[in-house]
Each structure stands twice: as structure tokens, then as C-alpha cells.
Amino acid sequence: MTAATTHPGTAIRPTTVGFGNLLISEWTKLRSVRSTYWTTVVSALATVAIAGLVCGRYVHDFDHMRPAERQSDLTNFGLTGVFLAQIAFGTLGVLAISSEYGTGMIRATLTAVPQRRTVLAAKAAVLAAATIAIGEIIGFAAFGLGQAILSSKHTGVSLGDPGAFRATMGAGLYPAATAMLGFGLGALIRHTAGALSALFGLLYAGTAVIDLLPTDWRNRLINYMPVNAGSQVLAVRHTPGALGAWTGFGGFLCYAAAAVIGALLLINRRDA
């Protein structure tokens, strides 16, 4: 048996995984865990079922309504369940990264691909693409069901009506942005329970704290809180004093971007 020899002038070329292969790897991870499927099922059932219930009740009570009560935001009726889907998507975003830290799998991932920021960017890209796709399918399904029910009283709207298409698109984008916020917090905190507490605290507890402030301060700040800002993309009728649809959603994206960018900046400075 002869020992392997190396020639002094021969350079060893480092192998790289490649970002495309890394995306495939992260997609395989995401679709192979139960939380992804449960999130999809819960979000779909919640959003579509609530659309049916809300629109069904409107139709049931329609003949007894006063004219003013009939002038509701009928597009938003079919999208009410998005706020429950938001919880499921946010949880998925946290688990997409925190579960690897919890099991220790992140060490194997970073050993195979030492470029930590590249790994985190790939995870974020896959999660964003998956949640947007799932969210849009659920959003348009809920809108379709809701308007089909409302059409029995000839009160439904179509996607061509002012604001309807934008609101329905927003029904997919809004929970996806929540998933990215959860992902960023999960990457920063690296502990599932802590990240979930931070996520729901930011989404809901912050608004409760703002409500305790003096009225002038409260009225100025409340529109910039995550849920209040982001949900404007779902509204067809603009509330006086609230942020615009895309301005509010852009503000919500800033929260998510801040969390993800913070995680990208810190990941090279911390142990796996």
C-alpha cells in the first residue's frame, strides 16, 4: 500500500456549496418539518373558515340591517381570519431558526457552510418565498369564498373594485411579513419561548402599553405600532389619521427588516 502524495506546486481548490444549493437545502429543511404543514393547515382553516362565518352572518342578518350597517367594508369581511393566520405564520418564522439552535443542528449547518450570514440569508429567502406563496393562496381563497357567500344578497365585490385586489394581495403579504419578523427575533434570541414572547409582546402588548399614555401621545404613536401599521394594507376604506395602505405596510416591514439585519450583524460575533 502506498501513501498518498501531494505535489508542492499543486493548489487545493476550496469547495463551495453555492447559494443555489444552499437554498435547496434550506427548502428541504423547511418542508420536512411538521411545523410547516401545521402552520399551513391552521392558517388555511382559520382564514377561510372565518371568512365563511363572517360573510355568512352578514348575509343572515342582511334583511334586518339598517342602510348604514349595509355599507361595510365587504372586502375586509372575507379577510378577517388573516389576523389568526398571522399568529401561525409568526410562530413558523420563529421555529424556522430557533428549532435548529434548540436541537444543536445549527452547529452541523455552520460546519458544512461556515459563511454564517450566507446561511441566514438563505433561510430568510426560503421562508419569505414560502410564506408569501402560501399566504397569497389562502388570501385569495378566503376572498373568493367570502364574496361567493355575499353574492347571494348581491352585495359582494370583485377584485376589480377599488382597493379589493390590493387588500387581497395584502392578506398574503401581511402574515408573511410577520413570519419574517418572527424569524429575525428567533435568530436574535435563539430560544423558541423567548422569541415567541418577544414577537407577541411586540405585536400586541406594545399596543396595550401605548393605550396607557396620555391621549395626545397615544394618538400619535398608535398608528406606528406593528399591527396597526401593517394591517392598513388590508383595509379598503382608509381610517382618518391612520397611515396609508402601503405606507403602513412599509412601516411594518421596517420592524421585520430591523430584526433580520440585527441577526445578520450579530451572527458572526456569537457562538453557535
- As a whole number of angstroms, the distance between CA 197 and CA 191 comes to 10
pLDDT at 127: 96
Range list of H helices, 202-266: 206-210, 215-221, 226-230, 245-266
Contact 257, 124 (CB under 8 A): no
CA 238, chain centre distance (Å): 23
113: left (phi over 0), alpha (psi -120 to 50) or beta: beta
- As a whole number of angstroms, the distance between CA 180 and CA 171 comes to 15
Contact 58, 151 (CB under 8 A): no
pLDDT at 182: 97
Report the sign of the C-alpha dihedral through residues 113, 125, 39, 248, in that order.
Answer: positive
User: In order along the chain (272 residues), what is the average pLDDT of each group of 10 residues?
Assistant: 47 62 90 84 89 89 76 80 92 93 89 91 96 95 91 84 93 96 96 95 90 88 92 88 92 97 92 68
pLDDT at 198: 96
pLDDT at 71: 67
pLDDT at 5: 47
pLDDT at 225: 93
